[in-house]
């Protein structure tokens, strides 16, 4: 009987805590994303931002393509609002997981885990 009570209490606790965990990922969409100073990004990310500021040329064919925001971690915008750029990953044979995503209003986001999370870049 005690075991059944304890398991029910645990289930209730999980039911209460689980939405909190989910809402924190939802809070990441929009202004709730973590922030990072541009100066704190890896050198390769800072180089990518400098190339974006200059308008290129970009080393990867997919640099500048529309970022679809399918993960819904960035603020929802119309298609074409966001564009993505590869951040070189030393030792990687392909494009790696690091990206800079820019918005039309000048916002910059950084991901080092292939869109699983984003940080807003502060200049």
Helix (H, G, I), strand (E, B) or coil at 119: strand
**Nearest in space to 99 (alpha carbons), one of 26, 41, 30, 55:** 41
Question: pLDDT tens digit string along 13-67?
Answer: 444 433 333 333 333 334 568 999 999 999 999 999 999 999 999 999 999 999 9
User: What distance in Å separates the CA atoms of residue 69 and residue 115, rounded to the nearest whole number?
Assistant: 9
**Nearest in space to 107 (alpha carbons), one of 74, 68, 79, 80:** 74
The least confident of 9-23, 77-91, 107-121 is 9-23
pLDDT of residue 33: 84
pLDDT of residue 115: 96
Q: DSSP label at 12?
A: H
Which residues have a catalytic role annotated? 84, 114
Residue 109, judged by CB atoms within 10 A of its CB (0-12, 13-18, 19+), counts as buried
Per CATH, the homologous superfamily of domain 31-122 is: Microbial ribonucleases (3.10.450.30)
Question: pLDDT tens digit string along 81-95?
Answer: 999 999 999 988 889
pLDDT of residue 6: 42
Residue 3, preceding peptide bond in cis (omega within 30° of 0): no
């Amino acid at each position: 009987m005690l075991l059944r009570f304890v398991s029910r209490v645990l289930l209730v606790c999980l039911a209460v805590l689980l939405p909190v965990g989910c809402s924190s990922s939802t809070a990441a969409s929009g202004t709730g994303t973590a922030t990072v100073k541009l100066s704190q990004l890896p050198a390769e990310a800072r180089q990518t931002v400098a190339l974006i500021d200059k308008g290129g040329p970009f080393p990867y064919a997919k640099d500048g393509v529309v970022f679809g925001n399918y993960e819904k971690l960035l603020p929802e915008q119309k298609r074409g609002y966001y564009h993505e750029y590869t951040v070189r990953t030393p030792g990687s044979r392909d494009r790696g997981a690091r990206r800079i995503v820019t918005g039309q209003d000048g916002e910059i986001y950084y991901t080092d885990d292939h869109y699983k999370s984003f940080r807003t870049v502060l200049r």
